[in-house]
Structure 1
């Protein structure tokens, strides 16, 4: 089965009243529908050329605190030789359209649609679009939490997420499964960025309530998603940002699979100050 992935629409809506908005920002969660990701909300970044970014999550005091998530659009000839400004910053890249040339510590990789890369803190990486078409990828950044006696994980690249067999959740007959890019028991990693897939009619049958905060970008399909006390209908390109302990559940709708890119912080003690 060929996987497809949503991308921001860009552009601008027509000059007419917009009516009601699906966008939500409250004390428990943020919901950004795809339509709000227009040209006028993009950012330019230092040391990136021919590139624009939709920054859809960032550490925010009193709300969510562990990660930033960008959707990067790199035009032909664009990219960066100095992409990561924070020496403690680790990252994950996931390509949703086009292809890019990625170098990690001098090793070259061609990363195309469905490609995934983990970039540990302090690694030397560069990214260029050497093609004649724009490329789009997610870049999720986190400040790595070093633990005495535990090594920093090494960089790795997965050519295509379809090369990894999803792990079915227990007692779901495969209707709810997770594509895991690192071993959940590997304590070197303090964040997971996975892909969650629900077959039509699949569901989370209870309100998950846990310490991990989440970023969820809908790659494909539709669902009704519980965010705190609100049921929200989500579609490709929508983004949800849940603070710790925000209840969540979902039911996949329609005849196609419902899939999202999921960030969560893991494997570390909560900070006490």
Structure 2
């Protein structure tokens, strides 16, 4: 199956364009459309060469609480020998364009479109663009919540094409999830999956749950129910959903609707003790 992965290209609209867009920021959810990911909304990071980033989620009061999400763009020859400056941070990389050379876990890995890497905290990893074109990848970061008696997860490098999607029960395969790590592996405190809907498939109830979500649309379009609103989304859009935000989805077609999904999992809820 041929898969496509949307990646921002930057640029700037000309002066003839209307200001109207689909960006929404509420207490329960946010929609950051692909049209907002322009040259002037990029950021630069320490120890990265020939690289810029779109920061589409960050820990913030009233916004993402458990994670940050970047879309990185690295030019040929660029990259970093010191990419992560927070030792307690774990990360997931997902390549949507170009080629990367990842050094992690004492091994060298070539990553291409669909490439996935899980990098535990305190990983001595490096990444460089050794291709001829721009490398674009998602980088999701989270402060790892260690648990006494549980080992930390291992480095994992794979590709979407090597992982079989798992159909949701009773959907005839119209709603499936590509899971890169075993959901029952309690060493992991976050999952980054790919969710795929065939045209006409739905989430048939308002999911309301403790997991915080970040969703980046890789392919296709749909109508998403976010809290009390129906919002149209398409490839290149990002959605943030706070914990317990009601959510549902209808994939209108004509092709598959696919998104990269973050959620925090497998841990007790932090409590305020005393006071």
TM-score calculated relative to the size of structure 2: 0.97
8 Å Cα contact 1:9/1:35 also seen in 2? no
Give the equivalent residue in structure 1 for 2:242: 243
8 Å Cα contact 1:42/1:52 also seen in 2? yes
- Measured in 1, the distance between the counterparts of 2:192 and 2:111 equals 17
* 2:207 pairs with 1:208: yes
Q: Deviations over 1:218-242 (max 9, x none)?
A: 0001100001111011100000011
Q: Give the direction of change, closer, same or farther, for the CA distance of 1:3–1:17 in structure 2 (3 Å limit).
A: closer
8 Å Cα contact 1:12/1:39 also seen in 2? yes
Q: CA deviation at 1:109?
A: 0.4
Give the equivalent residue in structure 2 for 1:61: 61
Q: CA deviation at 1:183?
A: 0.7
Which structure 2 residues correspond to residues 105-254 of structure 1 after superposition, within 5 A? 105-158=105-158, 160-254=159-253
Q: CA deviation at 1:20?
A: 2.1
Give the equivalent residue in structure 2 for 1:37: 37
Q: Deviations over 1:154-202 (max 9, x none)?
A: 00100x2021110000111110000000111110000000000001101
8 Å Cα contact 2:74/2:129 also seen in 1? yes
RMSD: 0.9
Q: CA deviation at 1:61?
A: 2.0
Which structure 2 residues correspond to residues 6-85 of structure 1 after superposition, within 5 A? 6-85=6-85
TM-score calculated relative to the size of structure 1: 0.98
- Measured in 2, the distance between the counterparts of 1:19 and 1:102 equals 40
Q: CA deviation at 1:17?
A: 4.8
Q: Deviations over 1:89-122 (max 9, x none)?
A: 0000000000100000331000000100000001
Which segment is superposed worse, 69-78 or 11-20? 11-20
8 Å Cα contact 2:100/2:131 also seen in 1? yes
Give the equivalent residue in structure 2 for 1:100: 100
Structure 2 gaps, min length 5: none
Q: CA deviation at 1:123?
A: 1.1
Report how many aligned residue pairs link the two structures.
272
8 Å Cα contact 2:105/2:155 also seen in 1? no
The 3-state SS of whatever aligns with 1:253 is: coil
8 Å Cα contact 1:217/1:238 also seen in 2? yes
Structure 1 gaps, min length 5: none
